[in-house]
Amino acid sequence: MKSLRFTLALAVLLISNLAMAQADSPKPSDSQKSFEKLKSLAGTWEGRVTTDPVAKDIQGKTATVVLRATSMGNALLHEMNVSGRPDDPITMLYMEGDKLTLTHYCDAGNRPRMIATASPDGKTVNFELVDVSGPMKYGHMHHAIFTFIDADHHTEEWTYMGGEKAIHAHFELTRKKDGPQPEGK
């Protein structure tokens, strides 16, 4: 009888500790949810570029975007190449405290840093400029938006500020089935 009471008491103690641990564990913030969703884009993507106003060097060309989770899942590497251009700008996305942060290593020679906000429906992550390190002679990347359509389609909007002039680039991207895929695909 004593062993039954001891076993019941132990079971109640374990269950209550488990319940308290779950209650104490923080729920992921909107920024953390957005970061996890962005990491689901890991793989190779292709699509056409449209710009407003027309930027002749990239308008209508094919862009290839490779996204890869790195640093034990703590960062997302975004590498973009537009056909016919020698550049290969790199963007790193990562959590900085409770903020989803983007640093763009621009072919203009600078590093804009942006902070994200998610849309209420979780389908769009909007990055707003915080600051820029490096020379501003050729302008800087000013804004970025990632929109999730489905597992094999997403769009990216990038706004480049060249002085007072903004150039908006829109990328309609489709996952390449023969490129690197995230685990489990």
Domains of the chain: 29-175 (2.40.128.20)
- Helix (H) or strand (E) holding 9, with range, is helix 2-24
pTM: 0.82
Q: State residue 161's pLDDT score.
A: 95
Task: Report the Cα–Cα distance between both ends of the chain, in Å, rounded.
Answer: 54
Q: State residue 131's pLDDT score.
A: 97
Q: State residue 24's pLDDT score.
A: 59
Half-sphere exposure of 109 (CA within 13 A, CB side): 6
Tens digits of pLDDT across the chain (185 residues)? 566 565 555 454 555 554 444 455 678 899 999 999 999 999 999 999 999 999 998 999 999 999 999 999 999 999 999 998 887 899 999 999 999 999 999 989 999 999 999 888 999 999 999 999 999 999 999 999 999 999 999 999 999 999 889 999 999 999 998 755 555 44
